[in-house]
Amino acid sequence: MMSESGRPRPARKRLLEAAARRFYADGVAATGIDTITADAGVAKMSLYNNFASKSELVLAYLDARHEEWLGLYRARIERAGGPRDGVLAVFDAYADHAAFAYEHGFRGCGLLNAAAELPAGDPGRGVVRAHKEEVERLIAGHLEELLPERPTDARATAEHLAFLLEGAMARAGLEGDGERLRHARALAATLLDRL
């Protein structure tokens, strides 16, 4: 497989891209190594030269999803005009995620979908938990700027907004579009205006 520059893309990158498409569309458990290597156009040995196991590939996928979301957030935060806009940038980054053209349609948060399939104690669940905690910390940081004299209120509101965001993402995934995320953003904006 060639990159835009006409050079072959590294096998690791092709494997991660194929895994991301398949894990998101079909699920982690339902996606076998043979499917991933066929989609990536590489030999099975190439997979094991890059990843020690399917579990390691799953971890790399989860890390990549986290970084992908952070990239969306960073793009949004660059245009934010203050802490209120910073909170809304978190919601906008999730809406941007929902707006991607997924091959088999939008299915919600790829991180949570994967975590639901992983057993308790699996390192992948820790990656997902860390992502969700970071999202809440980002919201809390913006709220602490917005409410410098009210740190307890800032933390409580951050938790409230994180729950709102997660619930909207779950519903958006069930409904297959980002409408719930747009509605959650509007609710968050109204709540912020009342602080």
Q: Under a CB-based contact definition with an 8 Å cutoff, are residues 108 and 173 in contact? A: yes
Structure tokens that stand for 133 in this block: 């905690």
| Count helices and strands in the chain by DSSP H and E runs | 9, 0
What pLDDT was estimated at residue 6?
A: 54
Centre a 10 Å sphere on the Cβ of residue 16 and count the other Cβ atoms it contains: 20
What pLDDT was estimated at residue 8?
A: 57
Same domain, 32 and 75: no
Question: Which single residue is written with the structure tokens 């194929």?
Answer: 18
What pLDDT was estimated at residue 2?
A: 47
What pLDDT was estimated at residue 105?
A: 82
Which residues form the domain of 177?
58-193
What pLDDT was estimated at residue 194?
A: 96
Distance CA 191, CA 134 (A): 21
Q: Under a CB-based contact definition with an 8 Å cutoff, are residues 61 and 54 in contact? A: no
Same domain, 38 and 112: no
- In a domain, residue 3? The reply is no
Q: Residue 75 carries which DSSP code? A: H
In terms of pTM, does the model score above 0.75? yes
> Which residues 6+ apart lie within 8 Å of 47 measured at CB?
11, 15, 33, 36, 37, 40, 57
Same domain, 70 and 156: yes
What pLDDT was estimated at residue 5?
A: 53
Radius of gyration of the chain (CA): 18
Structure tokens that stand for 116 in this block: 């639901």
User: What's the CATH code of the domain at 183?
Assistant: 1.10.357.10
What pLDDT was estimated at residue 102?
A: 76
- Number of domains present in the structure of the chain: 2
- In a domain, residue 120? The reply is yes
> In 10-133, where do the E strands start and end?
none
Same domain, 67 and 46: no
The amino acid at residue 141 is G
User: What's the CATH code of the domain at 25?
Assistant: 1.10.10.60
- HSE-CB for 149 with a 13 A CA cutoff: 1
Same domain, 90 and 44: no
Same domain, 103 and 68: yes
Same domain, 160 and 114: yes
> In 55-187, where do the E strands start and end?
none
User: Per-block average pLDDT, block size 10, for the chain (195 residues)?
Assistant: 58 96 95 96 94 96 96 96 97 92 84 95 97 98 98 98 97 92 97 96
